[in-house]
């Protein structure tokens, strides 16, 4: 059964999440949390879910951008965002160790700020070091939309929401985003 996704205003979304030890990661409690978060992300649906979003102040997030999620987005809009499918994976205790190139401005939404979207500038190329669900070290080189997802989820682990980074003038309801901006460039707002 999916977990409850907490909404902005909950303290856990504004706290620095606690790092996990290797023993904790390999333990049943965290492995069960990962499965529950995966199910919750799919049910939402979303492309990422950080533990604080389900009330757990832990440095843990799940990510997957399924091909199904982009079927209603034009090829031009996908190319402009650098959006490609990303397989399911887990990031634990992540750190952005490198940001390269210029920032890209695109609309983002959040399962914990339900019903809204805004343009958020994010680095287009990043390198993340973290642990996976087996407590193995992983180095991720990401670009485009995948880099944006990683930055968004890592922000959650540090008590930051996209509304802290958004271009305030672009803030909109999802209904208006879908009506006016879904396939257009972010710069047209």
What distance in Å separates the CA atoms of residue 83 and residue 188, rounded to the nearest whole number?
Answer: 19
- Look up residue 92 and give its two tokens: 């634990």
Nearest to residue 188, comparing CAs of 172, 57, 174?
172
Closest to 122 in 3D by CA, of 85, 160, 88, 94:
160
- The answer to whether 15 is a known catalytic residue is no
DSSP string, the chain: -PPPPP-TT-GGGGSPPBPPPHHHHHSHHHHHHHHHHHHHHHHTT-SEEEGGGGT--BSEEEEEE-GGGGTTS-HHHHHHHT---EEEEEEEEEEEEEEEEEEEEEEEE-TTSTTEEEEEEEEEEEEEEEE-TTS-EEEEEEEHHHHHHHHHHHHHHTT--HHHHS-GGG-EEHHHIIIIITTS-GGG-
Considering the candidates 15, 133, 153, 175, report the single residue annotated as catalytic. 153
Active-site residues: which are they?
153
């Amino acid at each position: 059964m999916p977990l409850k996704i907490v909404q902005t205003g909950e303290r856990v979304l504004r706290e620095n999440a606690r790092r996990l030890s290797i023993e904790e990661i390999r333990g049943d409690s965290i492995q069960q949390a990962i499965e529950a978060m995966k199910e919750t992300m799919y049910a939402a649906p979303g492309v990422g879910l950080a533990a604080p979003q389900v009330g757990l102040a832990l440095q843990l997030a799940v990510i997957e951008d399924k091909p199904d999620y982009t079927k209603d987005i034009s090829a031009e809009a996908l190319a402009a965002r650098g959006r490609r499918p990303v397989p399911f994976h887990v990031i634990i205790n992540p750190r952005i160790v490198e940001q390269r190139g210029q920032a890209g401005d695109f609309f983002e939404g959040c399962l914990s700020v339900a019903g809204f979207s805004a343009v958020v500038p994010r680095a287009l190329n990043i390198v993340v070091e973290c642990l996976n669900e087996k407590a193995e070290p992983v180095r991720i080189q990401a670009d485009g939309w995948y880099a944006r997802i990683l930055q968004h989820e890592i922000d959650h682990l540090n008590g930051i929401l996209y509304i802290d980074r958004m271009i305030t003038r672009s803030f909109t309801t999802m209904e208006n985003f879908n009506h006016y901006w879904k396939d257009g460039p972010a710069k047209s707002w």
